[in-house]
Amino acid sequence: MEAIRTVGLTKAYGGKRAVDSLDLTVQRGEIYGFVGRNGAGKSTAMKMMAGLVLPTSGTIELLGEPQAPGATSRRMGALIENPGIHLGLSGLDNVMCRALALGVPDAKRASFEALEVVGLGGVVKKRAKSYSLGMKQRLGLALALVGSPDLLLLDEPFNGLDPQGVREVRTTIVGLAKMRGITVFISSHVLDQLERMVTRYGVIRDGRLVREMSAEEVDRECADYLCIRCSAPQVALARLQDAFPQTSFTIMEDDAIRAQGAITPQDAGQVLAQAGIPVTELFMHERDIEELFVGLMGADVPDNSNAIPGAASLPPRVNGRR
């Protein structure tokens, strides 16, 4: 059973569509990273799933149950933008209000447990107005967790957290997914943290889902490779395949040769020089997750390869890693 399924989900404000025909599927037990630039529609989509914003059109199913417009599932916890905290109440009272509203049995015990999970067990009686920004963020996570939900919607849960707090929240989220089978739908600009926890990604741009990728697919696309640009690429490819049978070679759309495996720029340059094939570029290309997603989100990506093009008549130029 899918944890989240949206079909044609759309939200328009005047003549602008903040979310445009979003078709999204999240499987049970996944940690799904929702990635996009500011204003891409992430928060609006999550608010519609949580019943906080009425969709203009489209349908939402959560945990196999169709959701009426503006309705929310009791099996879902959400932390979207700023946590809904009453600053005059203690941390415990804040969570108990949520637990009682949900009809959670033994609301006090359940509230203590949720606060312990997020690292606020020692300050449960302090008023929320005395909490730091990071502590308030953790309190919002506790509010989402009380009642043992099967699905969590988390919008920028690392906001305001110091490095230790980020690590603790990340560990908590991964533990909930693994130990309790909770499905987590999370948006964040902290890509290096998403990389450590997400099992599948969705990239949204201008309200539309432009791509979905598994964590394994992201790893493959971010893998380092040797890029070779030369005259007669088909002939060069054949020579390189003969010389390095354990290396994977492909010709890219711009006729550059991509090589992944046990090969160095010096090795490739020597083989091609011996074959009399002029090389114009030869460099190791490194692509990190930030570069990949910035490109998918629609921003300009600078060339970080440190490649220096040369004339075809010049000998091969070998560049190291950036």
Supply the DSSP symbol for 90: B
Q: What are the structural domains, with CATH classification, of the chain?
A: 2-218 (3.40.50.300), 223-319 (3.30.70)
- How do residues 265-288 score in pLDDT, each as one tens digit? 899 999 999 999 999 999 887 767
Supply the DSSP symbol for 159: T
Percent of the chain with pLDDT strictly greater than 90:
53
The residue among 182, 178, 122, 171 whose CA lies nearest residue 146 is 182
Does pLDDT of 185 surpass 70?
A: yes
The better pLDDT of the pair 318, 245 is held by 245
HSE-up (13 A, CA, CB side) for residue 117: 26
- How do residues 188-217 score in pLDDT, each as one tens digit? 888 888 989 999 999 999 999 998 999 888
Percent of the chain with pLDDT strictly greater than 70:
92
- Report the helix count and the strand count for the chain, using DSSP H and E: 10, 15
Residue linked to tokens 């070679």: 249
Q: What share of the chain is helix, strand, coil (3-state, %, to 5)?
A: 35, 30, 40
pLDDT value, residue 186: 96
CB 151 within 8 Å of CB 62 = yes
- How do residues 9-42 score in pLDDT, each as one tens digit? 999 998 899 999 999 999 999 999 999 988 899 9
Concatenating the DSSP letter of every residue in 233-280 gives HHHHHHHHHHH-TTSEEEE-TTS-EEEESS--HHHHHHHHHHTT--EE
Q: Phi and psi of 179, rounded to 5°?
A: -85, -35
Does pLDDT of 223 surpass 80?
A: no
What's the whole-number mean pLDDT along residues 117-124? 90
The residue among 190, 193, 208 whose CA lies nearest residue 297 is 208
The residue among 176, 188, 279, 291 whose CA lies nearest residue 236 is 279
Locate all alpha helices (DSSP H) within the chain, ordered by sequence: 42-49, 91-102, 107-117, 133-145, 163-180, 191-195, 215-221, 233-243, 265-274, 289-297
Encoded tokens for 275: 């074959």
- How do residues 283-317 score in pLDDT, each as one tens digit? 887 767 777 778 778 754 444 443 333 333 333 33
Supply the DSSP symbol for 61: E
Question: What is the pTM assigned to this prediction?
Answer: 0.75
pLDDT value, residue 299: 57
What 187-192 contacts at long range (C-beta under 8 Å, 24+ apart), as own/partner pairs, is 187/33, 187/34, 187/35, 187/36, 187/42, 187/43, 187/46, 187/154, 187/155, 187/156, 188/33, 188/35, 188/154, 188/156, 188/157, 188/158, 189/156, 190/158, 190/166, 191/35, 191/289, 191/290, 191/293, 192/289
